[in-house]
Structure 1
Amino acid sequence: MPEQPRARTAEGVVEGRWRGGHAVFRGIPYARPPVGELRFAAPAPPRRWEGTRQAADFGPAAPQSVPTRTPAAGGVNSEGGNSTEKAENAENADWLTLNVRTPDPGTAGLPVLVWIPGGAYMTAASDDPMYDSSALAGAGLVVVSLNYRVGAEGFALLDGAPPNRGFLDQIAALHWVRRNIASFGGDPDRVTVAGQSAGAGSVAALLTMEPARGLFRRAIAHSVPGAHCTPALAEQVATALADRLGTVPTAAALSGVDPWRLADAVAALGAELPGRRDTWGRLAQAGMAMCPVVDGQVLPETPWSALSGGRASGTELLVGHTRDEFRLFSVMTGRLGTFTDEDARTALELFAPAPDGPGAYRAACPGATPEELLETVHSDALFRMPSQQLAEANDAAGGTSFLFELRLASPALGGALGACHSLDVPLAFGTLDSPTGRQLFGDEPPAEAVTVSRELQRAWVRFATTGDPGWAAYRPDQRLTRVLDADARTLPYPEEASRRIWEGRPPAPFDLL
């Protein structure tokens, strides 16, 4: 039996495991555990160790602020139990770890893909079987996945703490990759950072953050959320959270609150959001207890304004969205088929771009039912237009953008999910046999799902390797977009009516009403 794989990092030697013909290393610290005085601090450099550190098991995820795991938030842990249970039973808060799968740790110069898990900035767990990177490593990529602080630990705006700590964690992980990935066969100059949903929002932020400059060469962003808060709104959210716990919104005060109790309080605050719609507006309507804040410091402005305003340089960007982004949430909440005229009017008033957005949507969708109007404006505002406009802004900043729309529908629930949010993730990773993959595609996935999965995997590998996913770049004059379906083709952007409504109106931070 061959010896287990080893690699020497700047902090010490790690020993992984051979899995499926690849060397797999799990739970490697890229920063110190955020405990004690580091609880709400920027990530501190990891400590060195003597001897060989075992890297066989995933590190615990940061506390997750949802009561159950869903296709949008993640799946079941591959080693039994969910990640929250693992973290609760851990003896420490060693949440800031990453994992590496490499086809050959003894080689050099392989392209690297760094995966940032998503989950509404409330969850993120790199151990989800949906993120199994066997297929991508088999195609020649070194794949890194990471855990980072989410919920209040990562994104609550607190006095005495840097804002957007979750983003700072991601930057610390990218520094680790820069220092160490050559020891795993990877090329530190060919790093692609990738994510979906909140992971894609993280990628968009990293594109424009000064501390992230030079840490990656390319970016992949699926279903970019248009979700940021103003400081005024973020302060109110933090105050409401602290009030639930009988304390004040400072790092010093909340450091004394058990992390899982704090996560539960965030989840409870999220359940109260419908009652706060009159003051918290779009944040409450979107169902997010908290999200990144445009703080003027860590995140000086939104990615769209930074790129289009020439304050950030463009890059090679593969970005896209699904056709029916919001359908997943309609189904998850049990609201599918129940939306009323009042629901549609509220959605249009809150999310359609002012001043003429509501009327423009009604004119563009004649004969649409209230539910169709609501789903269209929510899909546009929350994911589709932020993704399309990121492609345009990156192009304006001198980068090269490649845009796609996933139109393949899930066969689950009699087709009710459509081409919903998160459907693209098991397709891109080739994990149709994972628990979430089976939920979305069945135990025997349709042939067209296998075909689309193979194309997305090839696109990721080609893009990470060469900067070209295999279709024409998106340019404002033609707006060519890869439409992924049983019969994939490259066409002008398929959501043209929505694009026209949003033209020149990039996503603005959520604010108080």
Structure 2
Amino acid sequence: MTLITTTHGTLRGTTEHGVAVFRNIPYAAAPTGKLRFRSPAAVTPWDGVRDATAFGPTAPKNPYPAPLDELLHDPDIPGDACLNLNVWTPSPGKARLPVMVWIHGGSLRNGSSAVPTYDGTQFARDGVVLVSLNYRLGIEGFGVFPDAPANLGLRDQLTALRWVQENIGAFGGDPANVTCFGESAGAISIAALLTSPYAKGLFHRAVLQSGAPAAVPPTTARATTKAMARHLGIAATAKAFSQADRTELLAAQAAVTRGGNPLTGGAGFHIVIDGDVIPDDPATASAQGAGHAVDLLLGTNTDEYRLWFVPGGLVDRIGRATLRAAVLKHRAPWRSPRVYRTARRGASPGEILGAIATDKLLRIPLNRLADARTGRPGQGGGRGRTFFYEFAWPSPVRELGACHALEIGFVFDTLDSPDSRALAGDTAPRALATAMHTAWTSFATDGDPGWAEWSEERPVMTFGVNGSEVVRAPRERERRLWG
């Protein structure tokens, strides 16, 4: 039994594998009743000792649709108090260890901190205090209403980061050395927070795994809210939605967003340019210097698209006509099919389209972000270092290749977890996990993951079948197509 006192009260944790673990720590009040569709409210302090040995409730969400549900495990823990976080620490007390805060992905409508792959034991073993958090998802976290604040899920993340600043010292962490890292929607969230005035000083380094700066105007983001309102037969207001049964909300959300994914589009949820938490488009703000004082590690997986294109057979249903139409619709460079095919002899039209989509949505925006930071001080002075990586090891499972989310088990060094095995199989190279995990830990410790900073030579640390090696300007002809 391990006891720690926070600003809200005393917690009882547990010791697992030589590491102290505290789960289900509330960082904001349960978003129920009058607090639904409202900014996160303060936690009411408790008397006595609060048990913190089991994961707390997850945010309301639907399961992943088939066949993704077989590849992406998504625990669902009932309860209203979903605004909670977890801490793994090797040294509770007066130590001042680097802190890493994990923000999970899931298209802003799935995921939680209870996913086994996100276990923080290995980070704590290596001298890092690891924090993982839940935040509101879907319509309750990213709905857009005329009578409620936007970006509630992002406001939850900010509240959790403030909790870290106020409390992490009691767990042996250094509040002056905090690294935010996340994947997919988690990375997109962090990229937005880099440009938010509310996040200033809350973290000092950031890792963007397969997620680039992106946000949309309220009029665009409101489309999903309006579609759900029509489905439910209610007004598109927070007042009306707060009175609706949560089960019915989730059913409407599933119906409206069915069939969409990050690459093919469709109804979904987005971070909103709200003039408050996110004053401007994060991509534009980043290009102008916002967040440049923060050290940044960023990158993608080689075959991001295969998670969405392969399991359901979409990759085989795409022919040449569909490829040409998609290139026109999404305004990809007109020569891209021919150029991408040159480096991929024998690739199908679906595979060519997937590679183009991966670059358009992820690799090219992240390259542009890295370029914009090179040699340029951040707003308010100072320049953070920038490092680029690519995860290229191909999974043997269902021909997924180096697909979206595959790298997470390597970063956390949790290849034995059941959800990591679902994506990577039973023979994933542990040496590669050691290399990746060590790089992330080193970056969080002193801002240096172990390879050259981004420059005109475009050094990319590539984690692949040959281990880890720096490749300079990979697939440069394809990148240059995008200007």
Q: Could you say whether these structures have the same fold, taking a TM-score greater than 0.5 normalized by the shorter chain as the test?
A: yes
**Alignment coverage as a number of residue pairs:** 473
2:280 counterpart (289, 292, 301)? 301
Change (3 A) 1:163 1:140: same
* Correspondent of 2:220 among 196, 216, 233: 233
Q: CA deviation at 1:226?
A: 5.8
Please state how far the C-alpha of 1:11 moved relative to its aligned partner: 0.7
Letter in 2 for 1:479: R
The answer (yes or no) to whether the contact 1:71–1:422 under 8 Å persists in 2 is no
Q: Residues 100-499 of structure 1 correspond to what in structure 2 (within 5 A)?
A: 100-225=87-212, 227-271=214-258, 285-353=264-332, 357-366=333-342, 369-395=348-374, 396=376, 397=378, 398-413=383-398, 416-443=399-426, 445-446=427-428, 449-475=429-455, 477-487=456-466, 488-499=468-479
Matched residue type, 2:362: F
SS at match of 1:332: coil
Distance in 1, matches of 2:478 and 2:14, equals: 48
Change (3 A) 1:70 1:297: farther
Shift of 1:340: 1.4
The amino acid that maps onto 1:61 is T
Distance 1:284 1:482 in 2: 25
Aligned with 2:470: secondary structure?
Answer: strand
In structure 2, distance between residues paired with 1:70 and 1:115:
26
Q: Which residue of 2 aligns with 1:18?
A: 15
**Offset of 1:227 from its aligned partner?**
4.7
Contact in 2 for aligned 1:352/1:381 (Cα 8 Å)? no
TM-aligned CA deviation for residue 312 of structure 1: 4.3
Structure 1 residue 361, shift from structure 2 partner: 4.5
What's the counterpart of residue 51 of structure 1? Answer: 48
Letter in structure 2 aligned against 1:50 = D
Letter in 2 for 1:39: R
Shift of 1:106: 2.8
Structure 1 stretches lacking a partner, 5+ long: 274-281, 504-513
Check conservation: 1:226, 1:381, Cα contact below 8 A. no
Q: Find the aligned partners of 2:221 and 2:73 in 1 and give their Cα distance.
A: 31
Shift in Å at residue 420 of structure 1?
0.7
Taking a change above 3 Å as real, the CA distance of residues 136 and 400 of structure 1, as seen in their structure-2 partners, is same
Identity among equivalent positions (%) equals 39
Deviations 1:75-112 (A, max 9, x none): 547xxxx31xx22xx3xx10100000101113410110
Paired amino acid for 1:494: P
Which 10-residue stretch deviates more, 372-381 or 402-411?
Answer: 372-381
Query: What is the SS of the residue equivalent to 1:372?
Result: helix
d(CA) in 2 for partners of 1:165, 1:226: 18
Cα deviation, residue 34, structure 1: 0.8
**Deviation, structure 1 residue 363:** 4.2
Shift of 1:381: 2.1
CA distance in 1 between partners of 2:462 and 2:292 (Å): 27
RMSD of aligned Cα (Å):
2.1
Alpha-carbon distance in 2 for matches of 1:14, 1:406: 38
Contact between 1:30 and 1:173, CA under 8 Å: does it hold in 2? yes
490-499 vs 453-462, which deviates more? 490-499
CA contact (8 A) 1:100 1:142 kept: yes
User: 1:383 Cα deviation (Å)?
Assistant: 2.1
CA distance in 1, matches of 2:259, 2:461: 40
TM-score (norm 2): 0.93
